[in-house]
Structure 1
Amino acid sequence: MADSKPSIAVIGLGIMGGPMAANLVKAGYSVTGYNLHADKVQQLVDAGGKGADSIADAVKDADVIITMVPDSPDVETVALGEDGLIAHATKGALWIDTSSIRPDVAVEVAKQATDAGLEALDAPVSGGEKGAIEATLSIMVGGEPAAFERAKPVLDAVGGTVVHVGPSGSGQTVKAANQLIVAGTIELVAEALVFLEAYGVDTDAAIKVLAGGLAGNRILDNKAASMVAREFNPGFRVDLHHKDMGIVTSAAREAGVAIPLGAVTAQLMGSLRQLGHGDLDHSALLLLVEQLSGRTKDTD
């Protein structure tokens, strides 16, 4: 029964948060959403959810609060202060932050939420817009085990792989490692595609055989075809991956861990952004490889 399920507030209804909220509605939850842009709220209403005019309005009666916003300062703004969720949530509510932010910020805001009588989890996701739409996200969760068990049925409605990885901040640490691997893989796939094209190879055939061997990976499966077609509609924007690479390089430096390939990839992502491609999908690293190779093509 729908009324036996916890009521959910979702703050942030963008590329990721919007589909996640819609999937929670499909799973039978009562979902109230808030976003800075009213059209995003209306999309949730059209999908069967409810709209709120403020964070306070969204969270006041919610059993579970999910946030999905771009960066650490956004989480702090949404969570803290007079208009934040911590001030207006019901005592005992569970807050699940699915944003990708700095691990130290995740630890601090979770502490403040706990001190205010809430349960808090950092639960960043991987899988991009496609994973959000299809409810197949990989979700890495940091926080208390009891809070994770409470959250798991909700997260199962939006994700295909949901794993508790440790105490507060651990989810964000694992997400940083995820973004390191994803960016590096995109860069290598981009280099391989430009290399293949330079030799006039049938790229569709090449992608098929590469994907079937040890070089096989999700980037080849999900993004290679659009990269070849120079279609970079954002599933995950360069701007956001640039932010995430800043998180992982900073965290690695603090831990004394060398990430030489990651550091170079972070520079490449930053360069792509500085060239004005921040709103494109992160697979647009291909454009930078082309430019460095002197093989730039006209794109729409």
Structure 2
Amino acid sequence: MDDGRLMILICLMVFNMMIYGFGAAIHYLKRDEVERKANEDETDTASVKILKIMEDQISYIYAIYLFGILVNLWIGRFFLPDLEKLLVSNLAVNGMVATLLSYFLLVWFLLAFCVILPRKLCASHARRAAYALVYPVNLLLILLKPLTVWMTGSAKVLLLLLRQRDSLGEADVTEEEILSMVSEGQEQGVLQDSEADMITNIFELSDKQARDIMTDRNEIVGVDADLTLDEAMEYMMAQNNSRYPVYLENIDHIIGILHIRDAMKAYDQEEMGEQTLRKIKGLLRRPVFVP
């Protein structure tokens, strides 16, 4: 291989390491922090560019695919034959063995040194890596933009010809993948324990039935509909809830739900304090009953 081809190969591999490492780095960055820095200082072009890539990660993923294909084509066209000849002459193996061995060595080298290694290193130093690599990666995205636009456009045309719904750009993420990312983010310190617990509880809520989260009848804190607004306010201010079932005679006959903020708005109006809750129009919200 001549020096020109070797230099092109080295440049392609370096850019390949950058684009994979940058992808791992922004995965561990907190978007709200980047957005805050970009909004506070308009001259912080690095934060602006990182935020733009975060907002359009589908295009970034397509660029990774495209660049990976270009690197593989270049290696297959110019580097693989030379490696096969080198193996045949030095190891005294036949052509088929040399071909298989050269494929194995190239796959190992590209995966280990051009994908896994930069991703691990950049994930460990996410902020520093993201801000250091954003400019060369952004330049590469600009250069690849015409090809990525043509590629996605061609795919959309094929989808139309096949009468399929255009789902390009829609990320289908499973519950298991989200929980895995949450767990990984918690281990890396990106998510606090309370934030991770909140996200986990959201998924667990969908598996619960109403009876699993019901309050025992004897523990329900309700308000009698015949209480005046003054009396109800005094009672609610001594409690810790923000919503109260309003009942007639007993808790089995609920006629509405009283939000404390609605009660406070009504309380500010003159002559409302002496009226009973059941007579104040629009104060109670309609209750929802679960069979």
Instruction: Give the TM-score of the pair, scaled to structure 1.
Output: 0.21
Task: Please identify which structure carries the higher strand content.
Answer: 1
Task: Please identify which structure carries the higher helix content.
Answer: 2
Instruction: Give the TM-score of the pair, scaled to structure 2.
Output: 0.21
Which protein is bigger by CA-based radius of gyration? 2
Where relative contact order (Cα < 8 A, 6+ residues apart) is larger, the structure is 2
